[in-house]
Structure 1
Amino acid sequence: MKVLVAGANGSTGRLLIQYLNEANHEAYGLIRKEEQKSEIEKLGGTPILADLEGDVGHAVKGMDAVMFAAGSGSSTGADKTESVDRDGAINLIKSTEKFGIKKFVMLSAMAADDPSRGNEALEFYLKMKGEADDYLKNTELDYTIVRPGALTDGESTSKIQVGESVDRGEVSRADVAKTMIASLNEPNAYHKTFEMIEGDTQIEEALKQL
């Protein structure tokens, strides 16, 4: 499967490229800077230069699936949170629809549907993520929206807990990436939105139980 990863140079994005390659998918990394190309290639992916705030049609065309793992980053202001985390995601969704690609996997955040449940400092970020999620839900795409708890750089256990709403907790970026990839080939994960933290259930089994 040819899979485009937006935000490929981020912490989770790089893991997606690596794991997609290891799972014999063709991984394509959407990046904004020329100097980021070598890192994507080192992980086994094909870099594509594009800006989520501009035209991404050339990056999306010909793909079998699209993943959004981009983020404005904690050091930027509200304007970038709005233009990347919400508008950039919607821009990518629109291009995915335009080119007839059906599968879209969104990396969102726990409490995106109800920012008051989350950290007060993240309220605007969660609001923007929630609005992007809502846009995706109202498309005809076979979407999966993954909302992890606090992200860590810990080792993968391949065991998680998922649900429409779960208690606050942590989960490794590695297991988030593996869950996003597993959702590509699990029809039960289509048209689903779920929160996730580390748990006791194998990823594939957890998706079947959604």
Structure 2
Amino acid sequence: MKVFVIGSHGQIGKLLVDLLVARGDEVVAAIRDEKQAPEMEERGAAVQIFDLMSQPDEMAKAIGNADAVVFTAGSGGATGYDQTLMIDLDGAVKSMLASKIAGVTRFVLVSAMNSENPEKWTEEIKPYYVAKYFADNYLENQTDLDYTIVKPGILTNEPGKGGVLIGEDHGSISRQDVAEVVAETLHHDNTIKKSFSVVEGAQPISEGISDIQ
């Protein structure tokens, strides 16, 4: 499978690239800065300059003949509200449109737990939840892509435990395990047209993904 990873230089993105390469997938790491290319090439990925501020038709040219697109880009905690909306919402939606133009149907979006429940949003990162809410909604209701929306709990940098609990609305999960969940999701067609939350748990990741209905 040829996978185009948007946000490949982020924390989850790098872990995902490593996992997909190890599985034998052909990985194209979307990067915004040429200086990031050597690191991603060392990880075994091809690289492609990709600007979330460009227009969908230009983005589609970069996506090319991929079999699947993963969007795990994020503005990060150090940017302002405007960047959150431009990357986590506008960038995500334009990536969906670009995928359609490129003829790619499989699209996996990394979102956030409780993005669909405004009453559970925390005030300090409310713009982040707003962006996720509308990006998720657009993917589910305004596209015909074969989507999966992965909604991890509170992210940690602990080593992956290899176990998950699907469907919980509270809890945490390591970025390593999130990357593994996304990798498994790409290889499980039962996750198409599905949205699910995920936290650390006891069920092996591959089994948990296989059980999604």
TM-score range, shorter chain: over 0.9
Structure 1 match to 2:151: 147
The residue identity in structure 2 corresponding to 1:117 is K
**Aligned partners of 1:116 and 1:123 also within 8 Å:** no
Tell me the residue number matched to 1:8.
Answer: 8
Residue 110 of structure 2 corresponds to residue 101 of structure 1 = no
Counterpart-to-counterpart distance in 1, 2:122 and 2:47:
34
Contact 1:3 1:28 in 2 (8 A): yes
Q: How far apart are 1:148 and its partner, in Å?
A: 0.4
Matched, 1:182 2:184: yes
Q: Which of 77, 84, 102 is equivalent to 1:81?
A: 84
Contact 2:61 2:102 in 1 (8 A): no
1:33 alignment counterpart: 33
Deviation at 1:167, TM superposition (A): 3.5
Moved over 2 A (4+): none
Q: CA deviation at 1:62?
A: 0.5
Aligned mates of 1:34, 1:187 — CA distance in 2: 34
| Distance (whole Å) between structure 1 residues aligned to residue 119 and residue 175 of structure 2 | 24
One-letter identity of the residue aligned with 2:202: D
Q: Is the 8 A contact 1:65 1:103 kept in 2?
A: yes
Identity of aligned residues (%): 38
Mapped to 2, the partners of 1:172 and 1:147 lie a distance apart of 13
Structural mapping, 1:60-75, within 5 Å: 60-75=63-78
CA distance in structure 1 between the partners assigned to 2:46 and 2:91 by the alignment:
21
Q: CA deviation at 1:39?
A: 1.2
What TM-score does the superposition give when structure 2 sets the normalisation length? 0.94
Cα contact 1:149–1:195 (8 A) shared by 2: yes
Equivalent pair of 2:169/2:197 in contact (CA under 8 Å): no
**Preserved CA contact (<8 Å) 1:159 1:202:** yes
Distance 1:65 1:175 in 2: 20
User: What is the RMSD of the two structures over their aligned residues, measured on CA atoms?
Assistant: 1.0
Give the number of equivalent residue pairs: 208
* In structure 2, C-alpha distance between the alignment counterparts of 1:126 and 1:147, rounded to whole Å: 11
What amino acid maps onto 2:90 in structure 1?
D
Q: Could you tell me which runs of 5 or more consecutive residues in structure 2 were left unpaired when the two chains were aligned.
A: none
Which residue does the alignment assign to 1:114?
117
Distance apart, 1:56 and its partner CA: 1.1
Report which stretch shifted further, 193-202 or 181-190.
Answer: 181-190
Following superposition, the deviation at residue 208 of structure 1 comes to: 2.3
1:127 lines up with 2:138 in the alignment: no
Structure 1 residue 119, shift from structure 2 partner? 2.2
User: For each residue in 1:156-187, what CA deviation from the matched residue of structure 2 results, as whole angstroms up to 9, or x when unmatched?
Assistant: 22210011xx1421101111011111111212
Query: What are the residue-to-residue correspondences of 1:162-173 with 2, within 5 Å?
Result: 162-163=166-167, 166-173=168-175
Q: State how far apart, in whole Å, the 2-side matches of 1:59 and 1:21 are.
A: 20
The AA in structure 2 aligned to 1:52 is: L
Distance in 2 (CA, whole Å) between partners of 1:118 and 1:160 is 23
Deviations 1:9-36 (A, max 9, x none): 1000001111110000011111111111
**8 Å contact kept, 1:4–1:59:** no
